[in-house]
Structure 1
Amino acid sequence: MTKPKIVFFDIDDTLYDQNKLVPDSTAEAIKKLQEQGVITAIATGRSPFMFRALRSQLDIHSFVSINGSYVVHNDKPVYTNPLAADTLGTLVSQTREIGWSLAFVTDKSLKMDGEPDDKARASIESLKLPVSFPESDPHFFENHEVYQGLLFYSDHDEAGFLRNEPFNRFRYVRWHKYGVDVIPRYGSKAEGIKQLLKQLNLTPDEACAFGDGNNDIEMLSYVGTGIAMGNAVDEAKKSADLVTTSVHQDGIYNGLKQVGLL
């Protein structure tokens, strides 16, 4: 196993515990990595505006955000991959017709398409964002590059139409019992990491990543050392090279010790 030169960290239930706080052991581990010259980066489904304070807290300046659609190196964007505007417009029309809530994500903001329903409220409030609940702007997607949609429906809702043209030009990745990320068909954290590694002249074998969710599956299998949190979903654990303890049990610190970085 190649000793990693860069480590990517998911945010929710990986860097953050369920209270959206960074455990002391995690902050200590990241500081030690930085002192050793190991590059520390974030890989998240969140938009940059949602984790400014976290980046400042951990002194991290490179990240893969919005599930690989917005990549930053040393505080400067190096890769973007917005949703296709025509397909997004069709999805907007369909969700309005069937009464599902939809939100638009850019690197700077989050807007609702119309008034949010209870599923949207429950999903968004679970993120405990450092901003007020997103405002409604049904024309937002017409005037901005949208990097991700947030679609709100449960496993019990009829969603078969999403497998058909043109909706299958997007991917739909669940992160909450009501919340689903809408991303480009070939978009993923793995693709964003690939773009950042190019900037750094590093190979996937020289990268390590920690994650727990469905949107971490490709990332954990792409890097040389994929580490799933003890609280991860089963598919993430299967994609990883090893499983550490949970976020509540010093999972990042213990995982880094297992691979010889601490």
Structure 2
Amino acid sequence: MIKAVFFDIDGTLVSFKTHVVANSTVEAIHQLRTKGIKVFIATGRQLQCIDNLGNLEVDGYVTLNGGYCIAGKDEVIYKQAIPKEDIHSMLEYQRTVHTFPCACVTEDAIVLNYRNESVDALYEQIRLKAPEIGPIETLADKEIFQLIAFFTAEEEEQIMASMPNSLAARWSPYFADVVAKGCTKAVGIDRIIEHYGIALEETMAFGDGGNDIAMLQHVGIGVAMGNAMDDVKASADFVTTSVDEDGVVVALRHFGLI
């Protein structure tokens, strides 16, 4: 029996066309919670940047791709920062090889070194204000939980080779989320269900991007959206319709949860 459902946000709960959660999805999630099934967000976003869920009520959050987990609205139950040596290696790469836009995400702030067309395109796509511009070097010795790194897929291999204690997950051609190695949405889910006393086989997750693959493979039932990339669909137990075709509702009905 499913006792917890985890939802990615962008491209899963929130359409890139409408930029809101469909009323039918809000109602479906309300039905889940009414039945005693807990609902969690599992996102690459920082908690302070989750601004597009409307009045949707949830039971907690896996944020920053598993690097920062919250029970309820504000009880931090797990956090894992990127090792400082990897941050320093990234900054050295920027100084000596190639400068690319990079936002450093701390517990309470996001600082971006500079903007370009890829940065503007991403934040326009997700309808979110771009981070403040500032010297990311000043954050080097603080806890940084995620890098929003605007390097291409081709550049990724070389850059990540200089950051051996970190990993990159990509759900957009514009950028990759960089977090500490071993830090995924699957790990975040484990921390959440441990806190609530829920078994892994009692979990379900919905996603559409590359940073969702680990959790879709990990949970009891992994659901890929119809608009997901092919490798995401291949990692899921079930492929539903797209976010713009009530994909969440279709899957929840398929499995008899609503």
With normalisation by structure 1, the TM-score equals 0.91
Equivalent position of 1:134 in the other structure:
132
Q: Residue 85 of structure 1 corresponds to which residue in structure 2?
A: 84
1:174 corresponding residue in structure 2: 170
Aligned twin of 1:118: 117
1:175 Cα deviation after fit? 2.2
**Corresponding residue number in structure 2 for 1:258:** 254
SS at match of 1:153: coil
CA shift digits 1:18-68 (9 cap, x unpaired): 1321011101101111111110110001110011562x6111140100000
Q: Assess if the C-alpha contact under 8 Å between 1:100 and 1:151 holds in 2.
A: yes
Partner secondary structure for residue 172 of structure 1: strand
1:161 is aligned to: 158
2:103, 2:131 within 8 Å by CA — same for their partners in 1? Answer: no
Matched with 1:105 is 105
Equivalent residue for 1:60? 58
Work out which of the residue numbers 71, 74, 91 in structure 1 matches 2:72: 74
Superposed displacement of residue 201, structure 1: 1.1
Alignment check: 8 A CA contact 1:95 1:101 kept: no
Gapped regions of structure 1 (runs ≥ 5) = none
Deviation string 1:136-161 (CA, Å, 9 cap, x unpaired) is 23234235311100111223x44442
Q: Deviations over 1:98-155 (max 9, x none)?
A: 1211111124321112x222222322332212x4542223234235311100111223
Partner residue in 2 for 1:206: 202
Q: Mean Cα displacement is larger for which, 94-103 or 201-210?
A: 94-103
8 Å CA contact retained: 1:197, 1:204: yes
Contact (CA 8 Å) 2:32, 2:257: kept in 1 or not? yes
Q: Give the whole-Å Cα distance in 1 for the aligned partners of 2:3 and 2:84.
A: 37
**Deviation sequence 1:154-183 (CA, Å, 0-9, x none):** 23x44442353x423211112221211111
- Counterpart of 1:148 in structure 2 is 146
- Secondary structure (helix, strand or coil) at the match of 2:55 reads helix
CA distance in 1, matches of 2:92, 2:102: 11
Please give the alpha-carbon distance, in whole angstroms, between the structure 2 residues aligned to 1:219 and 1:158.
Answer: 26
User: CA RMSD of the aligned region, Å?
Assistant: 1.7
Contact 1:162/1:168 (8 A) holds in 2: no
CA contact (8 A) 2:152 2:174 kept: yes
Q: Give the Cα–Cα distance (whole angstroms) in 2 for the partners of residues 206 and 83 of structure 1.
A: 30
Contact 2:106 2:144 in 1 (8 A): yes
Counterparts of 2:127 and 2:139 in 1: how far apart (Å)?
Answer: 24
Aligned to 1:230: 226
- What's 1:40 paired with? 39
* Amino-acid identity (%): 33
Relative to the length of structure 2, the TM-score reads: 0.93
Asked if 1:184 is matched to 2:211, the reply is: no
Q: Give the whole-Å Cα distance in 2 for the aligned partners of 1:221 and 1:63.
A: 19
What letter matches 1:119 in structure 2?
Answer: S
State the AA in 2 paired with 1:21: V
